[in-house]
Structures are given as C-alpha cells and as structure tokens.
Structure 1
Amino acid sequence: MGNHSDGTPTGADAVAKAGHQEVDVFQDPGLPPHRLRLADTDPKAAKRAERQVAWLFIISIIGTLVFFVGYFGVRLDDTIGTLRIQNTLLGAGVAFAMLGIGTGIVHWARALMPDHEVAEERHPLRTEEDRQAAVQIIDDIVEETGIKRRPLIRNTLIGAVALAPLPAIAIFRDLGPLPGDVLRHTLWKEGERLARDPDGTPIKASDVTIGSAFHVIPESLNDLHEGKIAAKAKAVVLLMRLNPEDLHPSEGREDWGYNGIVAYSKICTHVGCPVALYEQQTHHLLCPCHQSTFDLTQECKVIFGPAVRPLPQLPITVDSDGYLVAQSDFHEPVGPSYWERG
C-alpha cells in the first residue's frame, strides 16, 4: 500500500480526492458526554435560577408599566424637556419589556430546562402512531420546561406576556381612527378656487400652459386655523394641461376638465404617498415610493406598479373671472385602497 505518513489523500486523517480509490470511512462519534449543570445537582442553585427568571419577567412587567406612565402620565407642553422625558420613558419601557421576556426565557432554557441531546431514528409513518407520538412529544416538552411544577415562573411569564403587547397596541391606536368615510369628503366644493401650493394664490386657466403641472390646494385652506394639515393632506391636487385631443374621458366625464386642463388627487391609491412626478412626453404620473404609474390620457388609469385604482379626478371649470374652480368634491374617496370602503 505504501507509506502515507506524508499526508497523502489516503492517509488516515486526510480528505479523499478525486482519482483515489482508497476512501476512509468515518465512524459515527456518537453523542458527547453530558455535563451536568449546577442547577441539575444543587437544589438551591435551581431555586436561585428560578427566582432570577421570575425577576426578569417582573422587569418586563415593570417596563410595560413605565411605558404607560410615559404615554399617559406625561403631559406634553411647549418645552423640549417634557418631550425628552416622555421619549425616554417610552423607549426605556419598551426596551425593558422586551428585554425582560427575552432574557428570562433564554435564562430559563439554559439553567432549568433539560439540555441533554437526543438522537432518534426515522420510522415509517403510521397515522395513529404518529398522532400519539406527536401528543407524547408535546407532553414531553411541557414536562421538560417544568412549567407545571414551577408556578412562580409560569405566573410571572403569563403576566409579562399579557402586558408586553399593550405598548404596541397603544402606539398603533395613536396613529388615529380608522378612516371610515373621512376620506370621502375634502375641502373641495362647488365654486372653490384652485390655488397654488403653498402660497395659496388662485390660478387662472390662462396661467396653465400645455405641459405644465401645478401643485394645487383649495383657496379656503388659507383661512383654516385648526386641522389645516389634515385637510391639506386630503385635498392636495395635481393640475396639468394637455392637448384636448389627447384626453379620452369616459361617458359622463366629458366636462370634468377645461380646454385640456385636468386635476387629479395627488395621493397615490397604493399606500398614500404623494404622486409628484409628471412625464410631459408620455403624460404619465409617477409615484416615487413604489413606482406606481398612472396614464393621464386615460383618466389616470394604473399602467404599472402595485396601485390597483386610478387617481380620483376633481371636476373643474372656470368662473366669471377666468379662475379655475371645482365643480364639486371628489366623487370617490381619495387615498389608498387597503381598508374597507363600503
């Protein structure tokens, strides 16, 4: 056979390479010897670990309570200090709520749950036996966790898990009420003048040239003192002028524009991003967030991207002074389509 002590591929500790006939067979080394932990041999150590896990779960509970103190207890004023206090309590509360549960479960598994390795052979599937085996596995898992005989850990874990999601619920609830019919109504109404955003200057039809695009708000927004941001967010419009022959209005919408001037909601019907890009040559409106593309010549029909609904059109005309005005409000809700619109 020859001497392979120089490390050739047929040596005892080498890896076989292509072209060599001799391949060593690796034997299954088996499971490593099990090393007992201190908690496995010392009841006092096990009890101490149990208390540590419980304290970690209690820290999680305290973190959740701290969050609510910051959320409901700190009243914001015009000072930056109060805002910093609230943000500190909110951040620390959520951090300790999540950290307490995560660290507690990890410490519980490392110190108290069985850690021996098990190897099982794969057996042919038998429906009833598999069901019984699955039930037995679940029972074994519950038994190995020790949750039945360690009520302190069980009760503190239940408390921590029950309270931990509440900060997230509070944060999401603070985003505002469900839209309902709110987006069905904006500041636009019959006779409302179209004004430039943001200075609020009314727009005459003669100001709008072919290929131009205006970001438009209702003129009455200038006189609004409360809820101005929310009202503007719903009512913003894009105003453009095309050759009238390039437009293809559907039946009933022939008079929704004026000499090729049309107005559409600026709010993308995908997730509500502002549609702010107008391609003059193709007459396409683009949403920069997810690249939804709307064809202006086909009543802003979606031709690309994740949006599934055209941009709502604002019916417009001109008043006796030549200013562009709305004929009415939008005929459908503005904004994204991911809630029930009824």
Structure 2
Amino acid sequence: MSSQQIPEDSLPAVQETAHGAVEGTDDPFADPGLPAHKPRIQDLDERAANRSERAVALMFTLSMLATVGFIASYVIFPVDKIVYIWPFGHVSALNFSLGLTLGAALFFIGAGAVHWARTLMSDVEVAAERHPIEATPEVKAQVMADFAAGAEESAIGRRKLIRNTMFGALALVPLSGVVLLRDLGPLPEKKLRTTLWAEGKQLINMNTMKPLRPEHITVGSLAFAMPEGLDPESHDFQTQMGKAALMIVRIEPDDIKDKRQRDWAHEGIVAFSKICTHVGCPISLYEQQTHHVLCPCHQSTFDLSDGARVIFGPAGHPLPQLRIGVNSEGNLEALGDFDEPVGAAFWERG
C-alpha cells in the first residue's frame, strides 16, 4: 500500500463545493432563503390577465358542454349499439360516449382550476415558522386574515366570468351521477302497493290449479293460493307471485279476536299474504293449536287469530289480509286487493 499523503490544502475546496456552502458564509448548511419573486406577465399586463381569464372560462364552459353531452349520450345511444372507432375497434357507442364526455367534463374543470391558479392567483411564496398544533388566538386571526387576503388575490369577486362559469361547471358535473341512477332500474311507481288480486278474482289452489271452495278448507288446515288468470309458465310468474302469494287457513269464528278480520273472512276462512314483512321470505310453518305462523328465515311469528299481528321476531308489520267471499259458483274469490303493501317495509310506506 502506498504511503503517499494527499495534500491537506486541497481538501477544504473539494468539501466546500460538495456541500454547496451559501455565498458569504462558512456554514455549508445555512438556509439560503426564498429566491427573489419574479412577476408573471399577467401581473404586469392586464390584457394578458384578461386572456387568462377567458381561457379559464372557456375550459369551465367546455366542461359544462361535456356534461350536457354525457346526459345526451345516455338518452340517445341504445345499450346494444356497436360502432367502429379507430384505433379501439368495435366498441359500445354508449360506453365510449359516456367515458369520453365524463372524462372531458372532469378534465376541463381541473385544467381550468390549474390555469387559474398558475396565471391569476397570487404566486408569492411565504415562509411561516412551525407552530404548536393548538393555534393561539393571534394565529387564528392571522389565518382568517390570510384567507381573506387569498380570496382577494384570487380575484374571484372581481373576475365574475371565471366565478360564474366555475360554479356552472361544478353544478352540472354531479348531474352525471344522477343520470346514472337510471341504471338502478325503472321507478316502482305503484307496483310496491298493488298485486294481481282484485275484486272477483278466484282463489286458485297452487297444488291442483283449480278454484278453491269453502269445503276444501278444513279447520286447522293450511292452503296456498294464487290469483285467477296467472299463468305459471309466464315470464313474470315469479315476480307476480312474490307479491300475490296467499295462504288460507280456517279458524273457528269464536277464536278470531280481531273484528275486522272476522268481517273480511268467510265462515272462519281467512286469507293473508304469505310474504313476511321483515325481508320478504315465504311463510309456510303453521301451528294449529295457537294459530301462529312462523317465518323460517328469522323466526318472525304472527298470530292469525288476531289480525296476523307480530308476536315475536324482527318483522315490523302484521301480514296484510285479503278480503274474501264466495261467488255464484260457490268458489272462494277476492273482494279487492290486500289492505296494505305486501312484504318488507320501504321508506315511502305509511
């Protein structure tokens, strides 16, 4: 190993250059401070500032037009329309137009905000010392003063064209999300409140597919029925039965506690919705001695001798009752629809 030594007079110069010592001081780690502020052309020329204002307003206006295009695309293009767009190939016209217009709406809002900040808002850098997390009253007052000064320097009050177009763009963009709610499905309108049951419709036995007669229902028995005219082979059979499913039991008239229930029955034969009022599970477990029916999903229990009121479990409403009678042929028939909406509660339910 060589014993030759490097001259000491060469070391300080190398170290000083590597550490980047601040000019005029021997401390290589001294804070150099902020560089001198250089004004922008918009700070010196009002015409340049006005051009920047118009550019920002144009971007916000383009965002509004893109949002309108998003909504128009949603209405105009059918779901199954396929178009060829280079270089993507064959794509869905609806998906492509929705993505393009929504992306443009969000991009122009962001671009407008960035251009506004870089050309018209104050760009003076301010250094502030760190302070405790809990601010003193003086600091709070200074923050509010700085906020007011920032609002003044942003010229949002003076540059009304930027302000109004920005508010317009921000107000229209959320409409894109509102329009997308359409994909949740059509509005239910009165479908949650009505079923296929109506006055004069016969009760059809679900097992025999024949009209039910009073003599078919014995005390303590449980039968299930559907409305006359409903075809089990139809495409919406399950949907309709999800609301119209009916269970029929016969109770000794003296055991019926609810007067209205007795008036809506026929010789002790009562008809109630089979759909649990908790989350819509089908009810099929009947206890003859107590006249209770049990939902197998969450054990909600209803007393069919007392208006099908809830006596146990999470269900919040009694089972809706169907008023029944006998037609001229001696068959059981409905005298109207259920007295209230069937199934689980919903927010519009009274």
State whether TM-score is above 0.5: yes
How far the C-alpha of 1:149 sits from its partner, in A, is 5.0
Q: Does residue 220 in structure 1 map to residue 209 in structure 2?
A: no
How far the C-alpha of 1:90 sits from its partner, in A, is 3.8
**Mapped contact 2:81–2:92 kept (Cα < 8 A):** yes
Q: 1:133 to 1:117 in 2, by over 3 A?
A: closer
In 2, the alpha carbon distance for the partners of 1:142 and 1:254 equals: 73
- Alignment gaps of 5+ in structure 1: 1-31, 125-129
* Among 132, 137, 156, the residue aligned to 1:123: 137
* Among 40, 44, 47, the residue aligned to 1:43: 40
Paired position in structure 2 for 1:236: 243
TM-score by length of 1: 0.56
Paired position in structure 2 for 1:339: 348
Q: Does residue 86 in structure 1 map to residue 94 in structure 2?
A: yes
In 2, the alpha carbon distance for the partners of 1:91 and 1:217 equals: 47
In 2, the alpha carbon distance for the partners of 1:212 and 1:117 equals: 82
* Among 243, 254, 260, the residue aligned to 1:252: 260
How far the C-alpha of 1:64 sits from its partner, in A, is 1.1
SS at match of 2:245: strand
In 1, the alpha carbon distance for the partners of 2:220 and 2:32 equals: 83
In 2, the alpha carbon distance for the partners of 1:192 and 1:100 equals: 60
Q: 1:337 to 1:239 in 2, by over 3 A?
A: same
Paired position in structure 2 for 1:17: none
* Among 39, 46, 64, the residue aligned to 1:61: 64
**Mapped contact 1:285–1:296 kept (Cα < 8 A):** no
In 1, the alpha carbon distance for the partners of 2:261 and 2:242 equals: 20
In 2, the alpha carbon distance for the partners of 1:87 and 1:254 equals: 58
Paired position in structure 1 for 2:77: 74
- The number of equivalent residue pairs is 287
Paired position in structure 2 for 1:142: 151
Paired position in structure 1 for 2:302: 295
* Among 257, 276, 281, the residue aligned to 2:282: 276
SS at match of 1:325: strand
Paired position in structure 2 for 1:327: 335
**Mapped contact 1:97–1:164 kept (Cα < 8 A):** yes
How far the C-alpha of 1:159 sits from its partner, in A, is 2.2
Structure 1, residues 188-247: CA drift from partner, whole Å, max 9, x if none?
2222023478x9945536489978674x65323559x9xx969x6598223235573697
**Mapped contact 2:217–2:249 kept (Cα < 8 A):** no
SS at match of 2:258: coil
**Mapped contact 2:194–2:337 kept (Cα < 8 A):** yes
Counterpart of 1:71, as a letter, is Y
- Alignment gaps of 5+ in structure 2: 1-30, 44-48, 84-90
